[in-house]
Amino acid sequence: MGCSNGRFGEFGGQYVPETLMSEICRLEEAYLRLRGDPSFQAELSALLDSYAGRPSRLYFAEKMTRDLGGAKVYLKREDLNHTGSHKINNVLGQALLAKRMGKKRLIAETGAGQHGVATATAAALMGMECDIFMGREDTERQALNVYRMRLLGARVHSVTGGTMVLKDAVNEAMREWTRRVDDTHYVIGTVMGPHPFPTMVRDFQSVIGREAREQILKAEGSLPKAAIACVGGGSNAIGLFSAFLGDEGVRLIGCEAAGRGLDTGMHAATLSKGEVGVFHGMKSYFNQDGGGQIAQVYSISAGLDYPGVGPEHAFLRDMGRAEYVAVTDEQAVSAFEYIARTEGIVAAIESSHAIAHAMEAAPMYDREDSIVVCVSGRGDKDVAAIARHRGEDVRE
Ligand SMILES: *Cc1c(COP(=O)(O)O)cnc(C)c1O
């Protein structure tokens, strides 16, 4: 099917309407060509360095290490990037690719607005038009990010179909792409969707793992015992994992959102509770209701609130190379507070899911061991919601 296979075992593929198939093939062809093109890679590297602020630091969290009493905890600081998370790595890569393909316009879906803001940023930088699709529920909850995207020159479209959340915004962005493929590139925000997106987005995020591997070897002279990251669609996690896939001694641990608890129905733990299905152009695991419909998902963290997971994670889990654990809202909020107090770092509530697991994992290792935890983003955006969660009313 399609122009190439694009599968991870049985997962992935290209489940798209006829009208998109030829565009997806053009995209794959362009991507494969540019991936091996030194001038493209040099231009992207220069942008990541001078604009995004790479390489991001690998920080030894000494107080946290002492307090937890076990492996040395190293934090990969994606929160220090321009726009405040790892999303810029992918967006700059895709925007540059789109430009080389002759596209004039970028479109994207967004949930809380983080990926929309990153895409609007890249569009402003490259002088491209930008349209962002966002569920109406989300435009109302995230008014500040809507304004931020408009400030950056983007148009924001409020999607009223379905349940008016992220998955509906993806549907609408796909439809819009089908309507205007000639001058438009759809910047998918994570390792999901039809091939080549899961591979391409992984490659753009693999800079996280490449840097982290080199940095930990320099700091410790040995590889870490575990690499830990939160999983929404799974792009920061796969970016970190990709450098360690061949290192059998490195455990790869993804942290999903268990929300109010795995047995409540109010969670977004796709690998723990989902079933195999086809949605948004790919075969993977999805949270489904009894009738095989995509289930409503929930997490305190908007960035983890997606009912599916990237197909490579499904594959890595099923073949036993990576493990996935579920972390509740309550555990994530406690970790958010813990790392702020202990290390002076306000991490994103998404990243706090990984930190929560690291807090449990670190004491299980020896003092000579190390673990690497991805701090995928900064938590300024979450402060008011955490205060509310704790019963305090703070004005945003
Ligand atoms: C969007 C987001 C995530 C989730 O996306 P992945 O593709 O799973 O990485 C995680 N952390 C932050 C800070 C985000 O903004």
Whether the per-residue pLDDT at 21 is higher than 70: the answer is yes
From 109, 137, 211, 350, active-site residue: 109
236 lines ligand 1 (CB under 6 A): yes
State the distance from the centre of ligand 1 to the C-alpha of 1, rounded, in angstroms: 30
C-beta of residue 92 within 8 angstroms of C-beta of residue 122: yes
Whether the per-residue pLDDT at 210 is higher than 60: the answer is yes
From 78, 273, 376, 381, active-site residue: 376
The domains of the chain, with CATH numbers, are 21-39+87-197 (3.40.50.1100), 50-84+206-389 (3.40.50.1100)
Identify the residue with better confidence: 290 or 216.
216
- Per DSSP, the three-state class of 170 is helix
State the distance from the centre of ligand 1 to the C-alpha of 108, rounded, in angstroms: 15
Quote the Cα angle for 47-123-115, to 5°.
90
Per-residue pLDDT of 72-113, as tens digits, reads: 999 999 999 999 999 999 999 999 999 999 999 999 999 989
Indicate if 87 belongs to the active site: yes
| Residue 396: pLDDT band with limits 50, 70, 90 | low
Report pLDDT for 241: 99
Which of left, alpha, beta for 84 (phi over 0: left; psi -120 to 50: alpha)?
A: left
C-beta of residue 315 within 8 angstroms of C-beta of residue 271: no
What separation in angstroms does the CA of 121 have from each of 106, 128, 222, 243?
A: 11, 10, 37, 28
Indicate if 109 belongs to the active site: yes
Whether the per-residue pLDDT at 2 is higher than 60: the answer is no
pLDDT average, residue stretch 152-178 = 94
Compute how many other C-beta atoms are within 10 angstroms of the C-beta atom of residue 140. 12
* Extended strands (E) in 9-142: 11-12, 58-60, 72-77, 105-110, 129-135
Report pLDDT for 393: 86
116 lines ligand 1 (CB under 6 A): no
256 lines ligand 1 (CB under 6 A): no
pLDDT average, residue stretch 182-193 = 98
Residue in 6, 165, 176, 191 with CA at minimum distance from that of residue 87: 191
State the distance from the centre of ligand 1 to the C-alpha of 301, rounded, in angstroms: 9
pLDDT average, residue stretch 382-395 = 91
- Over pLDDT 90: what percentage of the chain? 92
- The pTM score is 0.97
Report pLDDT for 50: 98
Per-residue pLDDT of 270-324, as tens digits, reads: 999 999 999 999 999 999 998 889 999 999 998 898 999 999 999 999 999 999 9
pLDDT average, residue stretch 134-156 = 94
User: Residue 338 corresponds to which amino acid?
Assistant: Y
Ligand 1: which of 75, 80, 230 to mutate, judged by most atoms within 8 Å of the beta carbon? 230
* Helix, strand, coil % over all residues of the chain, rounded to 5: 50, 20, 30
Q: Angle formed by the axes of helices 114-126 and 143-151, to 10°?
A: 10
- Mean pLDDT of the residues in the chain: 96
65 lines ligand 1 (CB under 6 A): no
What separation in angstroms does the CA of 62 have from each of 74, 75, 227, 229, 339?
A: 8, 10, 17, 19, 12
| Residue 141: pLDDT band with limits 50, 70, 90 | confident
87 lines ligand 1 (CB under 6 A): yes
Per-residue pLDDT of 224-247, as tens digits, reads: 999 999 999 999 999 999 999 999
Indicate if 381 belongs to the active site: no
| Residue 259: pLDDT band with limits 50, 70, 90 | very high
Report pLDDT for 395: 74
Ligand 1 atom closest to residue 85's alpha carbon, by position in its atom list? 13
Ligand 1 atom closest to residue 350's alpha carbon, by position in its atom list? 11
Whether the per-residue pLDDT at 1 is higher than 50: the answer is no
Ligand 1 atom closest to residue 237's alpha carbon, by position in its atom list? 9
Ligand 1 atom closest to residue 236's alpha carbon, by position in its atom list? 9
State the distance from the centre of ligand 1 to the C-alpha of 4, rounded, in angstroms: 28
Report pLDDT for 216: 98
| Residue 128: pLDDT band with limits 50, 70, 90 | very high
Report pLDDT for 64: 98
